[in-house]
């Protein structure tokens, strides 16, 4: 591992389902891998709707960010991947409950598919507190 970066593993988040780290700390930032709606205890996909899945994604994201020494309030940029852009408004409603004040910059991208058949995946770049 490079001395310029540090891998972060979050014990309260689902295990990675591929060859990637939960997050990497580098240059005052925390780069958080995309989180899909997996229950950390069972490893199973949860949530029947995009809104339900977005809540689980954001809960998992919260756990990874906390393991990296920050909070979602420190988010600089978030990327939301959706398999159906028709779910945009419903996901926004859930998203807004996690970012009530001064939300981060964000991109929402429609994709053809996501791991394990999830409807939503959310990744972030966090500005680490001093």
- Model confidence pLDDT, tens digit, residues 28-65: 999 999 999 999 999 999 999 999 999 999 999 999 99
Q: Give burial (CB, 10 Å; 0-12/13-18/19+) of 59.
A: middle
Residues 87, 66: Cα–Cα separation, whole Å: 28
pTM of the full predicted structure? Answer: 0.96
Neighbours of 64 (CB within 10 A): 25
Q: What is the pLDDT of residues 76-122, one digit of tens each?
A: 999 999 999 999 999 999 999 999 999 999 999 999 999 999 999 99
Q: Residue ranges of the domains in the chain? A: 6-127
Q: Are 36 and 120 in contact (CB under 8 A)?
A: yes
DSSP state of 45: B
Please tell me the CATH code under which domain 6-127 is placed: 3.30.1330.40
């Amino acid at each position: 591992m490079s001395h310029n970066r540090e891998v972060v593993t979050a014990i309260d988040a689902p295990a990675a389902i591929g060859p990637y780290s939960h997050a990497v700390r580098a240059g005052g930032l925390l780069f958080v891998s995309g989180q899909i709606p997996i229950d950390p205890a069972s490893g199973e996909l949860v949530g029947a709707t995009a809104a339900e899945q977005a809540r689980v994604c954001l809960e998992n994201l919260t756990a990874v960010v906390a393991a990296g020494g920050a909070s979602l309030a420190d988010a600089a940029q978030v990327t939301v991947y959706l398999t159906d852009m028709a779910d945009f408004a419903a996901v926004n409603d859930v998203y807004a409950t996690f970012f009530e004040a001064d939300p981060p910059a964000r991109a929402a991208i429609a994709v053809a598919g996501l791991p394990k058949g999830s409807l939503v995946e959310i990744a972030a770049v966090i500005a680490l507190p001093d």
